[in-house]
Structure formats: C-alpha cells, structure tokens
Structure 1
C-alpha cells in the first residue's frame, strides 16, 4: 500500500503525469513495485477497486438538525400581542365590504 500512496503522491505533484496518456502512465508504473491488480485499477481509473485494495471504506456522515427551528426568548420583539384584545381574542383588520378603514 505504501508504494501505491507514493505513486499517487507522485502523480498528484506532477501535472504531466496527472494528465498523461496510457503509455506515459504505464512507463511511470514500470518504475514501481506495484502489483498487477493495483496497476490495472490505476490504468482503468477504477476508484472503487483502488479504495478496496488499500482497505478504505467510505466515510458517510448524515447531519440532522435536532430541536426546534426557533426558540422564543423573553427578548423577542413580536407583534402577536398587538393583534389581541385585552381578553386575548384576535382583532380582525380586514374591512367588511362597503366599509373603509
């Protein structure tokens, strides 16, 4: 696995190798001690096989918000109380047909 990581570091640091054609990639692989199965995965660009070969498992995290969207605090300035009579009933501000405010 160390040889694979070294090769991938080399590819990542050399732009000509990163965008190399199949022949140049094969020539670069010839200079390494990487096994044939790993070479085939590199040649084919098979990410899943490379992940499997190095023993890496996918790391997936789900994030969910827990709790209410908004928690009211005593400092909140809300207009809820302005639309209620003293007895707590709502006041309608919609004009009845024919009336004007």
Structure 2
C-alpha cells in the first residue's frame, strides 16, 4: 500500500502527471513496484477496485452537530416571560389635541 500512496502523492504534487495522458501515466506507473491489478485500477480511475485491493473502505464522517436547536441556560426564563399575558399595552406617549 505504501508504494501506491507514494505514487498518488507524486501524481498530486506533479501537475504534468496529474493532467497526463494514459501513455505518460502508464510510463510513470512502470517505474513503480505496484502490482498489475492495482496499476489497472489506477489507470482506469476505478476507486472501488482500488479501495478493495488496498483493503480500505471509504471514510465518511458527518460534520454536523446533532442535538437540540436551542441550548437551555439555567436561570434563563425567556420562555416563561413569553407565556405571561400582561393585558393590553398602554401607550404612555402624550397625544396632542391637534392629532384628534
């Protein structure tokens, strides 16, 4: 597996290999100690076969935090205040006689 990882690192760091045609990629693979089945998977871009040959499984991790939408803070009585009904709101703004 180390040889395959080294080759993939080489391809990733060399733009001529990353965008190479099949012939150039095959020549680069010929310089390695990688077995024929793995070479074929690399040439075909067959990730499933490559994972199987290397004994690896795709690694997927959810990056979302799972939990309540809102965290309760002790002493925070926001919800209690929202439920209380203080009756109709009374305006304390003086009204002039002209606006009547």
Verify same fold: TM over 0.5. yes
Matching residue of 2:47? 47
Task: Name the CA distance, whole Å, in 2 between partners of 1:3 and 1:64.
Answer: 37
- Write the mapping of 1:75-86 to structure 2, written as runs, cut at 5 A: 75=76, 79-80=81-82, 83-85=84-86
The Cα shift of 1:65 comes to: 1.9
Deviation at 1:59, TM superposition (A): 2.4
Structure 2 unaligned spans of 5+: 90-100
Taking structure 1 as the reference length, the TM-score comes to: 0.68
Count of aligned pairs between the two proteins: 87
2:72 aligned partner: 71
Q: 1:33 aligns to what?
A: 33
Match of 1:3 in 2: 3
CA RMSD of aligned residues (A): 2.6
**Structure 1: gaps of 5 or more residues:** 86-90, 94-101
TM-score (norm 2): 0.68
Q: Distance in 1 between matches of 2:4 and 2:68?
A: 45
